[in-house]
């Protein structure tokens, strides 16, 4: 039985219980085949490391917000969590990341080939899981959910292509180009995607469906930009993230090592003189092994001293305000109270 928002006043308690439930359900959906030593045990690795599980929480809360039964959203929430773990495996390989949820990334533990194969199997499992909605819901709704989440996944890949392509082709985007990328990469699958999925299951009207999409996109963008801030300010890479609290679980300054084009670096280019701007550009163009600790410290110091960190924090605050203002136009329900807390947690107050 899925947890109902009616029984919670505190977001942390709700997220912890949802995380436990989704963690257990996610493992149940992973097969126990003969290839377990080189496939299924790898697939289970990231889900068993923790994580915030806020995307499934958004599915459940938005389902309830529009009068739906959260039990009807379980399969879709699990499928979204499976997709998230697939995306992490491939994202870590594409970015050459070394730490995920406080431990070495899957490809460092097992090699690229086995990690890629595990990610591929997880992606297939997403669709296999969504097909089970036909046993739980009417066929029309099951198809709508599957179609919606396919769209979410496609947008995620489009955003990832821009993120990677800029690095591969030495391109430095402007703010509008960055916003387009982040809407696709994170705004959909960490925001509007799960929110609108829950709204579909809850039977939301077209107007409410669109409004919850605006709400979700705002928190998805705010979440990603908050993540970029934490990458330069947190020192908890070996502490896995957990619902409502926990460590950052990734390398401090990892975005600089990977040459990421973030809103922070864009703000920095707007503030630095030509000489320092060229120096920053050269750091971001270096291969990972050639970026020094001094380089990372220089970028972080500049981000603080130039006001870039503050400007990006204010951008997060604006996204939180947009989300809250949109939420005010949606039905009153206990789920709404938790969603308001989730806005502040994901975009403003999150320390990890």
Q: How does pLDDT run across 73-94, given as a tens digit for each residue?
A: 999 999 999 999 999 999 999 9
Other CB atoms within a 10 A radius of the CB of residue 23 amount to 17
Question: Per-residue pLDDT averaged across 138-153, rounded?
Answer: 98
pLDDT, tens digit, 9 for 90 and up, residues 272-322: 999 999 999 999 999 989 999 999 999 999 999 999 999 999 999 999 999
Least confident span in 16-20, 193-197, 205-209, 324-328: 16-20
Q: Are 68 and 77 in contact (CB under 8 A)?
A: no
- The half-sphere exposure of 317 on its side-chain side, counting CA atoms within 13 A, is 6
Q: Residue 243's pLDDT band (boundaries 50, 70, 90)? A: low
For the chain, which residues make up each domain, given as ranges?
5-349
Question: Per-residue pLDDT averaged across 106-127, rounded?
Answer: 97
pLDDT, tens digit, 9 for 90 and up, residues 153-198: 999 999 999 999 999 999 999 999 999 999 999 999 999 999 999 9
The pLDDT of residue 347 is 92
Q: Which two tokens stand for residue 261?
A: 């084009």
Higher-confidence position of 189 and 350: 189
Q: Residue 19's pLDDT band (boundaries 50, 70, 90)? A: very high
The pLDDT of residue 223 is 94
Q: Residue 352's pLDDT band (boundaries 50, 70, 90)? A: low
* DSSP H or E segment with residue 197: helix 193-202
The pLDDT of residue 253 is 87
Q: Are 223 and 84 in contact (CB under 8 A)?
A: no
Mean pLDDT rounded to a whole number for the chain = 93
Other CB atoms within a 10 A radius of the CB of residue 174 amount to 10
The pLDDT of residue 350 is 73
Say how far apart CA 5 and CA 2 lie, in whole Å.
10
The pLDDT of residue 351 is 64
Higher-confidence position of 204 and 231: 204
Say how far apart CA 201 and CA 196 lie, in whole Å.
9
The pLDDT of residue 246 is 47
The closest alpha carbon to 89, from 111, 61, 67, 60, belongs to: 111
Q: Are 192 and 221 in contact (CB under 8 A)?
A: no
pLDDT, tens digit, 9 for 90 and up, residues 101-110: 889 999 999 9
Q: Which two tokens stand for residue 132?
A: 């089970």
Phi then psi dihedrals of residue 69, to 5 deg? -90, 120
The pLDDT of residue 35 is 81
Q: Is the pLDDT of residue 52 over 70?
A: yes
Question: Which residues lie closer than 8 Å to 37 by C-beta, 6 or more apart?
Answer: none
Say how far apart CA 299 and CA 315 lie, in whole Å.
20
Q: For residue 272, what is the DSSP state? A: S
Q: Which two tokens stand for residue 104?
A: 């070495």
pTM: 0.92
Region for 283 from its dihedrals, namely left if φ exceeds 0, alpha if ψ lies in -120 to 50, beta otherwise: alpha
Task: Compute the Cα dihedral for 288, 291, 297, 302 and give only its sign.
Answer: negative
CATH superfamily of 5-349: Farnesyl Diphosphate Synthase (1.10.600.10)
Q: Are 156 and 131 in contact (CB under 8 A)?
A: no
DSSP letter for each residue of 236-281: -TTS-EETTEE---S-TTHHHHTT---HHHHHHHHHS-HHHHHHHH
């Amino acid at each position: 039985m899925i947890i109902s928002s009616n029984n919670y006043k505190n977001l942390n308690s709700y997220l912890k219980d949802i995380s436990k439930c989704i963690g257990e359900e996610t493992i149940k959906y992973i097969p126990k085949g003969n290839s377990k030593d080189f496939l299924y045990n790898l697939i289970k690795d990231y889900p068993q490391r923790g994580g915030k599980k806020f995307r499934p929480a958004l599915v459940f809360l938005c389902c309830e917000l529009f009068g739906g039964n959260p039990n009807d959203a379980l399969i879709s929430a699990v499928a979204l969590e499976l997709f998230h773990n697939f995306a992490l495996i491939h994202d870590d390989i594409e970015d050459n990341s070394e730490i995920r949820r406080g431990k070495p990334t899957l490809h460092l533990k097992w090699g690229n080939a086995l990690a890629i194969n595990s990610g591929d199997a997880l992606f297939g499992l997403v669709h296999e899981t969504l097909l089970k909605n036909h046993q739980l819901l009417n066929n029309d709704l099951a198809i709508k959910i599957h179609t919606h989440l396919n769209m979410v996944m496609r947008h995620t890949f489009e955003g990832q292509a821009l993120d990677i392509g800029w690095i591969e082709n030495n391109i430095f985007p402007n703010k509008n180009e960055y916003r387009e990328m982040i809407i696709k990469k994170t705004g959909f699958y960490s925001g509007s995607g799960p929110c609108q999925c829950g709204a579909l299951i809850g039977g939301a009207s077209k107007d409410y469906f669109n409004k919850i999409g605006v709400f979700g996109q705002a928190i998805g963008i705010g979440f990603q930009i908050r993540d970029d801030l934490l990458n330069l300010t947190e020192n908890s890479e070996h502490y896995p993230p957990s619902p409502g609290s926990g460590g950052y679980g990734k390398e401090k300054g990892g975005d600089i090592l990977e040459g990421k084009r973030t809103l922070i670096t864009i703000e920095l280019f707007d503030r630095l003189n030509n000489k320092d701007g060229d120096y920053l550009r050269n750091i971001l163009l270096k291969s990972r092994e050639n970026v020094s600790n001094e380089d990372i410290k220089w970028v972080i110091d500049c981000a603080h001293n130039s006001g870039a960190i503050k400007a990006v924090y204010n951008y997060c605050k604006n996204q939180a305000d947009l989300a809250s203002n949109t939420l005010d136009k949606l039905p009153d329900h206990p789920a709404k109270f938790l969603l308001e807390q989730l806005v502040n947690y994901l975009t403003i107050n999150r320390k990890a």
